Structure 1
């Protein structure tokens, strides 16, 4: 029993030493405070190896009562190798300067996010703006956090930011840029696992096409790929963010950009864009600069691409063209010839279209002399014959005057 008590007291004393944060630096904890153990009828002897400056080895012999000896060889630890004192949750996440946040250890930064989400993740009411600025700042100064955090913790942190939209506008541009750069460095699969409402809300921080000039091309591809995996994400993007992304894409060489993407990604993103334009028709198609839409849509309107375009996207494209004379006028007439040829030679595509959408496009063609006058009359006759067989209801949706311009007088 005495042996047990002696060992127990030695352990307690040793722990008390490790909890003392105010000891002179550079000296071994056990060496310096080994004398504390002597009243317990034990002796401590150390032999230092000075060949190692930071961590040396020493041997220690504890001679306990009744001639029991315990020998061990341990690392020689100085105080700077001891764990720092643990901060309370409130102290850890209290508002701090950017410098303080940057100086935090990786472990403290990860703890910061974990504690933050556990304390505020369940709240739907706004929290102090300086707290939101701090959370963005922690991610901004340590992009590795996006990879080390678990998906649930990351999702929770982004949800907190999404709820506090007003506070996000108070984040310094440099910090928000670094934050978004780190976020978009994640793989498309991880981005797609973020709740859509949070993801599109966070993307609302992008307010200029210049943002995409400042991030790696791979990050923009990650965003486009993630958007291609969910059409609803494109549809829900804040207008300024969508304009910024489309303007950036249009400013690049299309051969170097979208055409580098896998066809499924390209068509997925394009399908989401066309659905968005169609759903908001005619507002959005007439709000986005026409030159931007022409640049993005032109490469798709070749016979080769149109023939493999998903029918749903083809239908949306027909509707979008029928919603904007400005867009239709600026597109090369050859694009309309390609589209009409596909409708003539592909009954499956033609019969699958929404009759109202086809009627809108026909009306636009009829009221744009620059387009209609360049279309061969034989091509229009063939189109009329195909429509009469596979989608006759669309002809009832155009006016008699438009019908006469397109196909001549009714029999």
Structure 2
């Protein structure tokens, strides 16, 4: 029987200082307004906060009576906005939706926008977790990736996250960078570990469509080097007490795992507000699971009536098994088998033949109570997930491994 999973909220802020050549997210470089004393950015900050609040109001009838489990403010570079604006936004959300007592509120932050006083303001506004987009501590690699910060700024941002009293913070790191050696990849990890973050996201650079790197591919390490980086890096993280719980996520202990991302991977619900934001909502009143999308370009999102910015469609029943597995099988420990029926409304018999074949092939654990990939299944996750693609007719291309 279909039941409501936990509810999260994703807020998209689409502007950044400069578009990185590997980035396929909905982000837009903004103009710098330079004077002799300072650099300011041409941001419609207040108008965008107003529209986010209106956007949320439009979504509320779908989730009456439910409490927010987590909030994630992503981008783009949300840390370009002022603490006062984010305080106004969070206050407006709090007035419209009740929060769980232990709600996790995460904001993505770019070390190149790091200002001590500003980050104290974000903490005072109620943001209790940062995700710091470091990517590398190597100056040459940062330049190749188009990042606006240097290694010293990345280190300073992580150190200040401790000083400012954030309950938790994540360091985002990439590996498999242009011409990167095993030694360079491990050096990045060693520096990150020395900064004592509560959580590390460590994932391989991929060349996504509609990016500069896809059009002009850099020289990436050979597969043998990538494999050596992966094995050595995972061993190093484990040696320092970082437990892998998802394809690219490592936490010091279970209490420091990213609640918001775990809700995605467990096929939880989330409202999505902001330009290009996606949402997934269980509609018990209709007996359906819905996807929502918002107009992608910031100008289109800001213009016109608020009821024109959103699209809401049920996920076809034939696509639900893949949508569920796409998330759940990323988790090292998987999910309870019962969750499939509860969160999709489908009988387990719907996937039984495919599931049994995956068990027979050693890709999924033979455990009647837990849906969990084996080590082999995690290693060949793309191939495992493709088995559940039958009758999947999404109009959007899906990168199975590199979801954010």
Fold conserved (TM > 0.5)? no
Query: Which of the pair has the greater relative contact order for Cα pairs under 8 Å at 6+ separation?
Result: 2
TM class by shorter chain equals: under 0.3
Kindly indicate which of the two structures has a greater share of residues assigned to helix.
1
Please report the TM-score for the alignment, with normalisation by the length of structure 2: 0.25
Kindly indicate which of the two structures has a greater share of residues assigned to strand.
2
Please report the TM-score for the alignment, with normalisation by the length of structure 1: 0.25
